[in-house]
Amino acid sequence: MTSTAVRKTVMSMLKLVIAEKPSVAVSIANVIGADKKCKGYREGNGYIVSWCIGHLAELCYPESYDERYAKWSLDDLPIVPKEWKYSIDGKKKEQLKILKSLMNRSDVSEVINACDAGREGERIFRTVYRITGCRKPMKRLWISSLEDEAIREGFKNLKPGKEYDSLYDAAECRAKADWLVGMNISRLLTLAYGKTYRAGRVLSPTLAFITERQDEINSFKPESFYTVELKDENTSLVSDKFKTKEEAEALKQKCLSEPVVFESAVSEEHREKAPLLYDLTSLQRDTNRVYGFTAQQTLDYTQSLYERKLCTYVRTDSMYLTDDMEETAEKLFSPCSSVLKIVSDLNKLNASVLCDSGKVSDHHAIIPTVSIDGYDLTSLPQGEKKIIFLVMKRLLEAASDDYICETVTYKFICGECEFKAKQTFVKQVGWKLFEGKEAVDDKPFMFEVGENLKGFEAQVKEGKTKPKKEYTEDTLLSAMETAGKGEIPDDAERQGIGTPATRAEVIEKLISSGYVRREGKKLIPDETGINLVSVLPESLKSASLTAEWEQKLKQVEKGELSPESFMESVTEYISDLIAAFKKENSV
């Protein structure tokens, strides 16, 4: 071959880019110039851009390893594959076939992983890479936004795929651990109790949260308490609580004949720090509280905004920006303020407080992109519009001053008992300006110490103690996020059960499995869910075990723990659990 022919061959080599979804692939293709449309991919400018459709392949069911597992038997447990196999989703076989063909093309020199920049995105790509037998050099595109400039910068700074081997290891370990728990414990409980049960590493303790809270509510017995209220045209004074109505009535009678004496006024300053930027969990909590969105709806709406290039990467557990993003944040203040129609002094906003690279893991917090400037946000679907407005508002709030107020507690004596009244004065509106808060020029009560006050009406009011409230997705997400706290080191990088990317899926599985139902915002356990928790081994109901595994998965991700060691510990746990269960229940 002549030198000219060699040069032509080299020049004709193509780079294959694989995204997680078709829509993302199209965005990437448009930026890098792959504009020729083909079946299952785009090509041009030295690139081929194709896509997965989420997970194209998943771990096989037990019967794929041995036919005898098709019939469930306690004698076969635990089932632990020596070599893991994958099954292909029938509806997605055609796209996998296209990817395999592209990977094997002689003119493809390297493959670029452009799936979502996180644990599951890594697993989606690597699974396809492995089952197609691809051996070509691998690069990684790691971006937090689908804006054109972010994509261009990402391609300028492609990383060697090997740098993300540990991230893939953590993803595989998570999937295999979930398989071992789900397949083995579901069979164990179903065979032992004669009812079909579906257990899960994260699903089980989450269900336990909901059922235990419902038990507390059902067993709660309200208790009455009584207070005396003294009221005139300007002031309302309230006594301490009494257990019996007779005590409150006796005080009321005294107050009808005795003066109210002013004793003291105590002032206390309260400061509320500006909220941090949104990570996925805090955004899901707020949208559930404010709009009643489910966690899955919020994830879907925000993912759509990401694909429209209106907000940054969604599945993040960080509430800060990197240090080099201060200028980016500053550029967003004006368009956000303009869109929200909130008049504020933008010079008072401080972008530097939003930035701390040391507190950013894989991705920074969720913020709007500069694409919101000039975009007709009113054309968005209602769910997406509400979320992008929340994200914009949070950016302005997080960069604002603290909210400062002063609370004055006035104490009075009547009938030898203490009464109180409170006033609150806003000293600095700060971030609450964006919640519609204003500084009100109220005047404090003017009393002299020892002054006798008359003209109050006295009445007894009855109240009742209240049980805890049923979980909503807001409060359940909070419980999942902090689960195991106190049992996992405070400096652990990942606490709680599940991850921001998976918690919505867990809640949806509880509902689709018939274990939990939604009643408005409330999450109520069904009878099948209550029955499952009643038969679950204690360790699987405990949040501490799952939180410990999440922490170990993070160690695998960082290369501090080998995937083999993690899987050995999981396998040992499953084997010991099944052996102990069989012994205790004589099955």
| pLDDT tens track for 293-307 | 999 999 999 999 999
Residue range 28-48: mean pLDDT, rounded: 97
Tokens of 261: 């004496």
Is domain 280-398 in CATH 3.40.50.2300, yes or no? no
**Region of residue 498 (phi > 0: left; psi between -120 and 50: alpha; otherwise: beta):** left
Res 5: pLDDT:
41
Sign, CA torsion 102/108/111/112: negative
Strands 138-140 vs 108-114: parallel, antiparallel or unpaired: parallel
Please report, as a single letter, which amino acid is at residue 313.
Y
For position 11, what pLDDT does the model report? 47
Residue 334 has pLDDT above 90, yes or no: yes
Type of residue found at 177: A
CA 451/CA 446 separation, integer angstroms? 10
Q: For residue 538, give both structure tokens.
A: 């204690």
Answer yes or no: is pLDDT of 492 > 60.
no
∠ CA 398-402-403, nearest 5°, is 115
For residue range 509-536, list pLDDT tens digits in order: 999 999 999 999 999 999 999 999 999 9
Cβ neighbours for 580, distance < 8 A, ≥ 6 positions apart: 537
Q: Please write the tens of the pLDDT for every residue from 175-200.
A: 999 999 999 999 999 999 999 999 99
Contact 286, 276 (CB under 8 A): no
Amino acid at 548: E
What's residue 6's pLDDT? 40
pLDDT of residue 10: 46
DSSP state, 143?
-
Tokens of 441: 């020029």
Q: For residue 461, how far is the Cα from the chain centroid?
A: 42
Catalytic residue numbers, as ranges: 313
Q: Which of 1-5, 154-158, 226-230, 353-357 has the lowest mean pLDDT?
A: 1-5
Of 319, 204, 300, give the one whose Cα is nearest residue 501: 300
- For the chain, the residue count is 587
Percent of residues, the chain, with pLDDT higher than 70: 95
* 495 confidence band (pLDDT: 50, 70, 90): low
pLDDT value at 35 more than 80: yes
Alpha-carbon distance 448 to 136, whole Å?
A: 86
H or E element in which residue 453 lies: strand 452-453
pLDDT at 487: 53
Fold of 3-157: Rossmann fold (3.40.50)
Homologous superfamily of 224-273+403-464: Topoisomerase I, domain 3 (2.70.20.10)
Average pLDDT over residues 104-130: 95
Going by C-beta distance under 8 Å and a sequence separation of 6 or more, which residues neighbour residue 297?
287, 383
**Does the structure show a pLDDT above 60 at 377?**
yes
How far is 450 from 538, CA to CA, in rounded Å?
Answer: 61
Q: Quick one: pLDDT at residue 587?
A: 65
CB atoms within 10 A of CB 344: 15
3-state secondary structure of 14: strand
How many whole angstroms separate alpha carbon 232 and alpha carbon 299? 51
Q: What is the pLDDT of residue 439?
A: 65
d(CA 544, CA 548): 6
Q: Which one-letter amino acid corresponds to residue 391?
A: V
Q: Is 361 helix (H, G, I), strand (E, B) or coil?
A: coil
DSSP string, 556-582: HHTTSS-HHHHHHHHHHHHHHHHHHHH
Q: Which residues contact 288 (CB under 8 A, 6 or more apart)?
A: 294, 295, 298, 472, 473, 474, 477, 521
The tens digit of pLDDT for each residue in 192-235 reads: 999 999 999 999 999 999 999 999 999 999 999 999 999 988 88
Task: Report pLDDT for 440.
Answer: 63
Closest CA to 356 of 277, 246, 437: 277
**Which architecture characterizes domain 169-219+484-585 according to CATH?**
Orthogonal Bundle (1.10)
Parallel, antiparallel, or unpaired: how do β-strands 236-239 and 224-231 relate? antiparallel
Cα gap 417→413, rounded to integer Å: 6
Pair 547, 496: CB distance under 8 Å: yes
Mean pLDDT in residue range 268-279: 96
Q: Is the pLDDT of residue 489 over 60?
A: no
Nearest to 255 by CA among 264, 247, 263: 247
Helix (H, G, I), strand (E, B) or coil at 58: strand
> CA–CA separation, 476 vs 331, rounded Å?
35
- Average model confidence (pLDDT) for the chain? 92
Q: Return the higher-pLDDT residue of 572 and 257.
A: 572
State pLDDT tens for residues 462-478: 999 999 999 999 999 99
**Rounded distance between C-alpha atoms, residue 276 and residue 511, angstroms:** 31
User: Residue for token digits 């990402």?
Assistant: 154
Q: Please name the residue ranges forming H helices in 242-325.
A: 245-257, 280-291, 295-307
Domain locations in the chain?
A: 3-157, 169-219+484-585, 224-273+403-464, 280-398
Asked if 24 and 307 count as a contact pair (C-beta separation under 8 A), the reply is yes
Cite the beta strand spans of 20-81 per DSSP E: 36-38, 41-44, 47-51, 57-59
d(CA 254, CA 415): 5
Pick from 107, 168, 118, 145: which is nearest to 28 by CA? 145
